[in-house]
Chain A
Amino acid sequence: MDQKTKINALEGKQELTITREFDLPVELVYKAYTEAEFVAQWMGTKVIKLENRNHGCYQFETSHEGNVMFKANGTIHKIVTNQEIVRTFEMENMSIGVQLEFLNFEKVTEDKSKLTIQIIYKSEAHRAEQLKLPFAYGLNMAHDKLEEIFTN
């Protein structure tokens, strides 16, 4: 089956590319990225600040049971409605460091669109830090699946 979300992370590079095709008009995908109300919903985070303008900035904060678990912020370098966002992204108190993100919003048809995110890290090691995180979370899932295979 063709996957809707694709990751391209070449060995020896300090960048990666995420691509996704949506069954949505490009305007709605752009809206999901630029209106605090929607960002909060799909990212599962509190939006402290989101200034959609050139040289604007943004700030997210995620809490779990009353404790702040995760803080992220960045600067919007360039923004073109329904087309493009160039911004930095940084998770506070993490070893991943600042990353540069190029988001491209593309219209495929009236109700289909494509999002391409190119992320550039400080080094290949910083990129590896980023990839490690969900890997650990996925590990429990992988094990459960193995168990399922062996017990059936």
Chain B
Amino acid sequence: MKLRRDVFQAIADPTRRTIITLVAASAMTPSAIAENFDYSRQTISKHIQILTECELLKQEQKGREIYYELNPNGMKQIADFIEPFRKMWDDRFNSLEAIMKQHQSNNT
């Protein structure tokens, strides 16, 4: 029986968080992921395996290569999927508001 790992354990490791960030931008092969690190290919494979078991990553076969990509369903276990997107816009709009208020007071 496969050991069911905990998602929070999976994201506790900085290398694994970096892997998630990488594949979030685009689906990647294990060797393309490994090129971003100084660790051995085996070490990175182990991290990828843990992330896949936690359903944070999913595999997709394209021709002879296996690509890993983010699994949004698994990600929902950690936090609301929309929240970071909302936060990004909230930060932008806060900055818009601050800049335009400054502009307004400069002109009165």
Proximity string of chain B (18-56) to chain A, C-beta cutoff 8 Å, 1 when within and 0 when not: 001100111000000000000000000000000000000
Query: Which of chain A's residues 10-32 have a Cβ closer than 8 Å to chain B?
Result: 18, 20, 22-25, 28-29, 31-32
Q: How many A-B residue pairs have CB under 8 A?
A: 104
B25 near A41: Cβ-Cβ < 8 Å: no
A23 near B82: Cβ-Cβ < 8 Å: no
- Given contacts A24-B104, A29-B100, A42-B99, whether A131 and B93 have CB atoms under 8 Å apart is no
Q: SS class of chain A's interface: helix, strand, loop or mixed?
A: helix
Please, how many residues of chain A have a CB less than 8 angstroms from a CB on the other chain? 38
Chain A to chain B contacts (Cβ below 8 Å), 19 pairs: A4-B93, A7-B85, A22-B96, A28-B100, A32-B96, A38-B96, A38-B100, A42-B96, A42-B99, A95-B26, A131-B72, A131-B81, A131-B85, A134-B84, A136-B20, A137-B84, A139-B21, A139-B78, A141-B84
